[in-house]
């Protein structure tokens, strides 16, 4: 069994396999900012599977998202009561919200992918793999050079990452997925 298989086995049930480490991590992460740049991934097996390599121009960001009803920050400035509505980001999963918020902090980068790392009663944490598309190392590598092409610009905002495609219903195939393609809007939102 290789190294990644052992890491994968630990992360199957992290609360049971590493309870003290899990608890201390979550307590420490709650005190951190919601977006934290990391030196290396917490889950190396998952990061490598999703395209991470320890190269210049590739960053890992841990993003915290609040769980539950209110995912949009409450407006603190003056508004009429009608304009204070829509507190929930509907039809968008936590992972997609995490990717969008991480990308907002690093505007020169594109989101390659992301994966779950932890959750508690209040928050859920994802690590987002960001790629600096203008870095010469990235431009010279065939496996990442496609991110610099114009059709992939702001891909996280258009729901083109794996989490985005999932929340758009595009990972479904076969019977029951007829009203999903080419998009929900094209089919009058009948898939939901």
Is the backbone of residue 183 left (phi > 0), alpha (psi -120 to 50) or beta?
A: beta
**163-185: per-residue pLDDT in tens?**
999 888 888 888 878 888 888 88
Per-residue confidence (pLDDT) for residue 79, from 0 to 100: 80
- Note the pTM of the prediction, 2 decimals: 0.87
| Residue pair 91/29 in contact by the 8 Å Cβ criterion | no
Question: Could you tell me the two tokens for 77?
Answer: 């400035």
- Asked whether residue 102 carries a pLDDT value surpassing 70, the answer given is yes
Question: Could you tell me the two tokens for 58?
Answer: 């590739």
Domain positions in the chain: 3-133
Tell me the C-alpha distance between 100 and 110, whole Å.
10
- Name the helix (H) or strand (E) containing 126: strand 123-132
Q: Any residues with CB less than 8 A from the CB of 121 and at least 6 apart, and which?
A: 67
- Asked whether residue 123 carries a pLDDT value surpassing 80, the answer given is yes
Per-residue confidence (pLDDT) for residue 1, from 0 to 100: 63
Calculate the alpha carbon distances from 53 to 94, 112, 170, 176, 191 in Å: 25, 11, 27, 37, 37
**What mean pLDDT value characterizes the chain?**
90
| CATH architecture, domain 3-133 | 3-Layer(aba) Sandwich (3.40)
| Residue pair 92/167 in contact by the 8 Å Cβ criterion | yes
- Asked whether residue 69 carries a pLDDT value surpassing 80, the answer given is no
Per-residue confidence (pLDDT) for residue 70, from 0 to 100: 64
Tell me the C-alpha distance between 28 and 148, whole Å.
36
Calculate the alpha carbon distances from 51 to 40, 60, 115, 125 in Å: 14, 12, 11, 19
What secondary structure letter does DSSP report for 73?
P
């Amino acid at each position: 069994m290789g190294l990644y298989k052992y890491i994968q086995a630990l992360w199957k049930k992290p609360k049971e396999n590493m309870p003290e480490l899990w608890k201390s991590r979550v307590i420490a992460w709650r005190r951190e900012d919601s977006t934290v740049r990391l030196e290396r991934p917490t889950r190396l097996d998952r990061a490598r599977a999703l395209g991470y390599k320890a190269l210049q121009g590739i960053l890992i960001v841990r993003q915290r998202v609040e769980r539950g009803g209110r995912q949009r920050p409450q407006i603190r400035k003056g508004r009429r009561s009608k304009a204070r509505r829509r507190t929930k980001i509907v039809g968008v999963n936590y992972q997609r919200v995490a990717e969008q918020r991480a990308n907002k902090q690093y505007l020169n980068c594109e989101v390659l992918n992301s994966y779950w790392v932890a959750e508690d009663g209040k928050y859920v944490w994802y690590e987002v793999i960001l790629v600096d598309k203008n870095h010469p190392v990235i431009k010279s590598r065939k496996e990442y050079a496609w991110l610099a092409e114009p059709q992939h610009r702001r891909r996280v905002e258009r729901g083109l990452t794996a989490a985005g495609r999932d929340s758009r219903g595009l990972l479904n195939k076969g019977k029951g997925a007829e009203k999903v393609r080419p998009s929900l809007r094209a089919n009058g939102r009948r898939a939901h």
